[in-house]
Chains A and B, each alone.
Chain A
């Protein structure tokens, strides 16, 4: 055997193309080869330390850690039959919520009786997410639908009646999928701790608190982007100073991609948003290493393209690490890490309504990508995702088992960054990084994320990409099994029986709105009206002073039983409201 120089490989490649590849392409009458082959000249491995490095070290391409905490306990978890929603050993429970706070509390207690001990991972209804109360005209038909209704501190307290003793809030983390009114929910959490005599520094968990992606993708905004960022700043400073174990946000590329963004837009836009959040913390007077370690990410987007999704995760870790180190001069390596519970996945928009059991096969592909890019191989989502709201217990069981099969039988997670050094994967990682940085630069030139939302650039770019993808599916440039190919009469339409009891009691769902409105009316009758009015008045005065941190006064409003909408209405008055984007 002899060593090859780059020149030799280049010449050999040319010769291979001429003598082997091209004749074969010609033989099959193709314009170009349907496959690609990568060689040492596709990627320069001499920059190993700068580009890949070791797991747990800058630039974190190979992973945040040599192994994540769940991996340390994985074998133990299997032997004791520990259940968690990702098949690992995470402590956060399954994302969920419906009906009134009492309905959801009872559901959680029932889940606990079935061995699901995860912390609250709360989905709020759209009314709550948009800063309205259950008695608002905007609430009609939506109360308790896509999550639980929370109008007041009283409601919040009722949910947490399911979390006491071994599951008290100093022992399990809480996740809140809340953005525009995040400050109010964080205040409620703090207030609950105070009432239970638990020091704030014992609280753990994560609020989504990622308002910028709401403008780009998810739509539950209230105030315009600039004052929304002031609210972010205030929560960031408050959490950093008083709740140091509680994460500040969960920055999502996931929603942006699901709304239609390309992979490159997903990365560029989330990085632009992340930069804006870091700047907000700095503006609040914090040092970068004080708060950046408490930033988390929400897995970015997903797709079925397994190689690209692995490369994406590697590129994302490297890009964020470099931004934090080189631009913000972070010293703490925790500041530079993209902390996220899961990494790659297929994204719910990759699931199909047609022959829905195929979604299990799809989810496994996403789980493989996750397992090979530093995450828990979660086979997300359950196969019945596109059939309507709520996953069946069976679909969830199969999802968990798929994840376990990847961990324990396929041993997917026994190697850290198994693709490191692959000519192909390194070259693809470089390419995604390069394209995303070019797109990020475009946004920076506009003035950053807030400006690129105000001028409509980011949301419109996502809408256009969604349409481009649809066109590709309609003209069969992109193939989706059972949707635009293999739909002929000889295919069997596999039917599935979701003959399971509904995740959430449909009767309770139906009556939730009336019952919650009654709860709210009772609260408004019984609370100390003077205290409410007085704290809301202070909120208004303080909101007008943009240097003021609003968290202490919001905590006071919450403690006095001011409702979520009352608090948001005061801020609407001062900040104005965001306008929906037209095409």
Chain B
């Protein structure tokens, strides 16, 4: 992938949680930031998310979770990516994430955790920095 190709992002809602506002806002926002954004829609299993990420050849997965099940769901996505040899996919998590869980998520390899009050610009900046791309 060249320097100027668009960064591809999969915004995903794992589990049964139906709070979509954050996912919608980030999907629209990153699109306006010039990213290629795919949104899975509600109720995806971690397996579905991993295979969509591989199939769509995305650079980033943004998981949106507000049900409190963020630790187990994120862990499954991380393991699934590893199993498919897609460790290079950047994973970010957004939602209601208690402070004490942020560290656990980062230890799993999550690149960034974004809670209420986050700015789209900051999410975009983190993705660009971590991927070393300006697209």
CB pair B72–A140 under 8 Å, yes or no, is yes
| Choice from B25, B43, B68 contacting A467 with Cβ under 8 Å | B25
- What distance in Å separates the Cβ of B50 from its nearest Cβ neighbour in chain A? 15
Residues in B with CB closer than 8 Å to A214 are 18
| Choice from B16, B21, B27 contacting A142 with Cβ under 8 Å | B16
**A219 CB within 8 Å of chain B:** yes
Residues in A with CB closer than 8 Å to B116 are 352-353, 386
A390 to chain B: closest residue by CB: B68
| Choice from A127, A219, A583 contacting B39 with Cβ under 8 Å | A583
Q: Classify the interface of chain B: helix, strand, loop or mixed.
A: loop
CB pair A581–B17 under 8 Å, yes or no, is no
Name which of B54-62, B78-86, B117-125 contacts chain A.
B117-125
A579 to chain B: closest residue by CB: B41
Q: How far is the CA of A142 from the CA of B14 in the complex (A)?
A: 11
CB pair A219–B67 under 8 Å, yes or no, is no
CB pair A464–B16 under 8 Å, yes or no, is no
**B20 CB within 8 Å of chain A:** yes
* 23 residue pairs A–B, Cβ–Cβ below 8 Å: A126-B18, A126-B67, A129-B16, A137-B45, A138-B43, A141-B15, A142-B69, A145-B69, A214-B18, A217-B20, A259-B21, A260-B24, A352-B116, A463-B21, A463-B24, A463-B28, A470-B25, A470-B120, A474-B121, A480-B117, A483-B117, A579-B41, A583-B24
Residues in B with CB closer than 8 Å to A130 are 16, 43
Residues in A with CB closer than 8 Å to B119 are 474
- What distance in Å separates the Cβ of A507 from its nearest Cβ neighbour in chain B? 15
**A349 CB within 8 Å of chain B:** yes
Instruction: Mark interface residues in B65-102 (1 if CB within 8 Å of A CB, else 0).
Output: 00111001100000000000000000000001110000
Q: How far is the CA of A217 from the CA of B119 in the complex (A)?
A: 22
Residue in A260, A386, A388 with the greatest tally of chain B CB atoms within 10 Å: A388
| Choice from B39, B40, B96, B121 contacting A388 with Cβ under 8 Å | B96
- The chain A residues found within 8 Å of chain B, CB to CB, are 126-127, 129-130, 132, 137-138, 140-142, 145-146, 214, 217-220, 258-260, 349, 352-354, 386-389, 463-464, 466-467, 470-471, 474, 480, 483, 579-583
Known contacts A138-B16, A463-B24, A467-B24; decide if A146 and B67 are in contact (CB<8 Å).
yes
Q: How far is the CA of A109 from the CA of B36 in the complex (A)?
A: 52
Residues in B with CB closer than 8 Å to A480 are 117
Residues in A with CB closer than 8 Å to B112 are none
- What distance in Å separates the Cβ of B126 from its nearest Cβ neighbour in chain A? 15
Residues in B with CB closer than 8 Å to A145 are 67-69
Known contacts A145-B68, A389-B96; decide if A467 and B29 are in contact (CB<8 Å).
yes
**B51 CB within 8 Å of chain A:** no
Residues in B with CB closer than 8 Å to A218 are 18-19
CB pair A470–B29 under 8 Å, yes or no, is yes
Residues in B with CB closer than 8 Å to A132 are 16
- The chain B residues found within 8 Å of chain A, CB to CB, are 15-21, 24-25, 27-29, 39-43, 45, 67-69, 72-73, 96-98, 115-117, 119-121
Q: How far is the CA of A21 from the CA of B67 in the complex (A)?
A: 51
- What distance in Å separates the Cβ of B98 from its nearest Cβ neighbour in chain A? 4
Beyond A470-B120, A483-B117, 10 additional contacts (C-beta under 8 Å) are: A126-B67, A130-B16, A138-B43, A141-B15, A219-B18, A259-B20, A467-B28, A467-B29, A480-B117, A583-B28
Residue in B18, B67, B72, B98 with the greatest tally of chain A CB atoms within 10 Å: B18
- What distance in Å separates the Cβ of A186 from its nearest Cβ neighbour in chain B? 21
Residues in A with CB closer than 8 Å to B25 are 260, 463, 466-467, 470
- 10 nearest interchain CB pairs? A219-B18, A580-B41, A126-B16, A463-B24, A141-B72, A467-B28, A580-B42, A388-B98, A141-B69, A353-B116
B71 to chain A: closest residue by CB: A141
Q: Classify the interface of chain A: helix, strand, loop or mixed.
A: loop
Residues in A with CB closer than 8 Å to B21 are 258-260, 349, 463, 466
Residues in A with CB closer than 8 Å to B115 are 353
Residue in A258, A463, A471 with the greatest tally of chain B CB atoms within 10 Å: A463
CB pair A387–B98 under 8 Å, yes or no, is yes
Q: How far is the CA of A354 from the CA of B117 in the complex (A)?
A: 8
Known contacts A219-B42, A467-B24; decide if A388 and B29 are in contact (CB<8 Å).
no
Q: How far is the CA of A471 from the CA of B42 in the complex (A)?
A: 23
CB pair A126–B72 under 8 Å, yes or no, is no
CB pair B117–A352 under 8 Å, yes or no, is yes
Q: How far is the CA of A581 from the CA of B11 in the complex (A)?
A: 13
CB pair A466–B24 under 8 Å, yes or no, is yes
Residues in B with CB closer than 8 Å to A582 are 39, 41
Q: How far is the CA of A127 from the CA of B28 in the complex (A)?
A: 29
- What distance in Å separates the Cβ of B132 from its nearest Cβ neighbour in chain A? 25
- What distance in Å separates the Cβ of A125 from its nearest Cβ neighbour in chain B? 9
CB pair B73–A141 under 8 Å, yes or no, is yes
Q: How far is the CA of A269 from the CA of B15 in the complex (A)?
A: 27
Q: How far is the CA of A217 from the CA of B39 in the complex (A)?
A: 16
A258 to chain B: closest residue by CB: B21
CB pair A580–B27 under 8 Å, yes or no, is no
- What distance in Å separates the Cβ of A233 from its nearest Cβ neighbour in chain B? 23
Residues in B with CB closer than 8 Å to A464 are 28
CB pair A386–B16 under 8 Å, yes or no, is no
B100 to chain A: closest residue by CB: A388
Q: How far is the CA of A218 from the CA of B21 in the complex (A)?
A: 9
Q: How far is the CA of A137 from the CA of B76 in the complex (A)?
A: 13
| Choice from A140, A141, A353, A388 contacting B117 with Cβ under 8 Å | A353
| Choice from A126, A137, A146, A583 contacting B27 with Cβ under 8 Å | A583
Residues in B with CB closer than 8 Å to A388 are 68, 96-98
Q: How far is the CA of A145 from the CA of B25 in the complex (A)?
A: 25
B16 to chain A: closest residue by CB: A126
Q: How far is the CA of A580 from the CA of B96 in the complex (A)?
A: 22
CB pair B117–A146 under 8 Å, yes or no, is no
| Choice from A142, A466, A474, A581 contacting B15 with Cβ under 8 Å | A142
Residues in B with CB closer than 8 Å to A140 are 72
Q: How far is the CA of A517 from the CA of B67 in the complex (A)?
A: 20
